[in-house]
Chain A
Amino acid sequence: MNNFSYLGVVMTPRSFVQLTLLLLISIYCLLNFRKMSNAARLLSSVIFISLISECLARYMASAIGTTFPPYHFLIPILILLHGLLFRQFVYGGGTKLKLLMTIAISIVILSSIFYQGLMEFPFVQFSVLGLFSIVLSLAQFKEMLLNRSDLQLYRRTIFWYSAGNFIFYSILCFVFSIFHFLTPFWRAEFDWIYDLIFILNLILYLTYFIGIYVDVKTAKNGLNE
């Protein structure tokens, strides 16, 4: 895939599409921020942070030739935001959630310091974030079944958020595990993995967007959860 330069920043068509999507969603979030519930505001923060991190990654690509450093900072923030979102949706989590968040953030930070440094791709950190998100998504699915609502499933932000996270991080963890294992044998096939992760990212951001959109719509109709 050919890279091109835009405002002095090295861009691939994939990152251009991804950044454009994130930017559009961020604009929508900013325009509707006051109408949103607290959960949707936190979800918007995930979008804002992802946009900033992707911009920094692109800048780093042109400045130092690698996109990896911002991801080391992004992952603990995402763990924190996903934990806070869980508290918003599930109204609790208490000690178990705090313990899980502390363990996950500690592993991620320690790994960035001692195992996979800032200039390396944070496989371990992404895997921890993935496992953390999958566990929370499953708990959120359980919550949806136990805490019944009048709202249809497709009108619930928690559903889009949980489904997006569940699919994205499950596939990501799977891809990372085989990617790690097969690297020595698989150099020729790398590109489709990047394509897959790119498509998964788009799906994830779109599910976040739908989640925020239904929140704004239901808030307008006075139907918020």
Chain B
Amino acid sequence: MNKTESLFTLYPLVIGIIVISILVGFIISFITLYQKTQENFRAEKAHLQQELLKTEIEIKEQTLSDISRELHDNFGQMASLIKINLNMALAETPAAQSEKITESLTLVKQLIQDIKSLSVSLKGENLARFGLIEMIKRDLDRYRKIGDWQIYFNTSENLPKLEGATAIFLYRMSQEILNNSLKHANASEVRVNVTHSNHIFELEISDNGIGFDSAVHKIGSGLINLKDRSGMIDAKLIIESQAGQGTTIKIQKKV
């Protein structure tokens, strides 16, 4: 091989190596850029999802508030009018025939009471008035009245006063969990513990219902809701359950 031939063999090799390096460099840069773009895309999507959830919850709160007002102003008033009419009818009815009216009066009084407590429970604004613990207590009282359940409620001392979105979210989550325990899990006993230690506020609700095996069962929409809501207030959701051994749900929020 003479000098010219060697040069013509060397040049393509050098240029070839440069070309391949450029190609490899291009692909690596592209992969890096794509990963960055994808990270941004995921972050934007997560943010959008949070916003969507927030709006959904705001709409839900507004709807519940409207229903609460409707219950109080319309059904409550109607029940009060029925009560007045029954009182008037009772006054005009001989004592021997008044038994049915007295019975109806008792039922209407109970109805007014139930409408009032349901109305309070639906209206998120009442949290600011009564506080989270009082609202949970009222819900538990309502459940005790309507069903044959053993419900225990314990709170530790020096609980911080939670306000705003955190209080609303925790309250709605407690309602969802209680509803699941009493209506779907066939529980006969529910324990609600609210504690506060080391700057962690914990709401724990456990029942003796049918439970589920979290390793086998897919997470349902109710639990997904709880998970999403916990995420929105930076709270930690812990679900412990086994088939036939009840369920314990803890929500821990740093305060």
Residues of chain A at the chain B interface (Cβ within 8 Å): 141, 144-145, 148-150, 152-153, 163, 166-167, 170-171, 174-175, 178, 182, 185-186, 188-189
Taken together as a complex, chains A and B put the C-alpha atoms of A86 and B20 apart, in Å, by 24
CA distance A141 to B26 in the complex (A): 11
In contact, A186 and B9 (Cβ under 8 angstroms)? yes
In the bound complex, what is the Cα–Cα distance between A166 and B41 (angstroms)? 26
Contact B8 A182 (CB under 8 A): yes
What DSSP secondary structure best describes chain A's contact surface? helix
A90 to chain B, nearest CB (A): 16
Query: What would be 20 A-B contacts, judged by CB atoms less than 8 Å apart?
Result: A141-B30, A144-B34, A145-B33, A149-B41, A150-B45, A153-B31, A163-B27, A166-B23, A166-B26, A166-B27, A167-B23, A167-B27, A171-B23, A174-B19, A175-B16, A178-B12, A178-B15, A178-B16, A182-B12, A188-B1
A63 CB, nearest partner CB in chain B, Å: 34
How far is it, in angstroms, between the C-alpha of A186 and the C-alpha of B12 when the chains are bound?
Answer: 11
- Cβ contacts under 8 Å, B31 to chain A: 153
The number of inter-chain residue pairs (CB within 8 angstroms) is: 47
Kindly state the separation between the CA atoms of A102 and B15 in the bound complex, as whole angstroms. Answer: 32
B157 interface residue (CB < 8 Å to A):
no
Q: Is A185 within 8 A of B5, CB to CB?
A: yes
Residues of A with C-beta under 8 A to B35: 153
Interface size, B (range): 20 to 34
B9 touches A174 (CB 8 A): no
B-side interface residues toward A, CB under 8 Å? Answer: 1, 4-5, 8-9, 12, 15-16, 19-20, 23, 26-27, 30-31, 33-35, 37-38, 41-42, 45
Beyond known contacts A148-B38, A149-B41, A153-B38: 12 more, CB 8 A cutoff:
A145-B37, A150-B45, A153-B35, A166-B23, A170-B23, A171-B19, A171-B23, A174-B15, A175-B16, A178-B15, A185-B5, A186-B5
Closest B residue to A148 using CB positions: B41
Determine how close the nearest CB of chain A comes to the CB of B218; give it in whole angstroms: 16
Q: Which of B4, B19, B30, B33 contacts A170 (CB 8 A)?
A: B19
Given A145-B33, A174-B16, does the pair A186, B8 have CB atoms closer than 8 Å? yes
Please indicate the chain B residues that have their CB under 8 angstroms from the CB of A166 in the complex: 23, 26-27
Give A171 to B195 CA distance when docked, in angstroms.
68
Contacts of A170 in B (CB 8 A): 19, 23
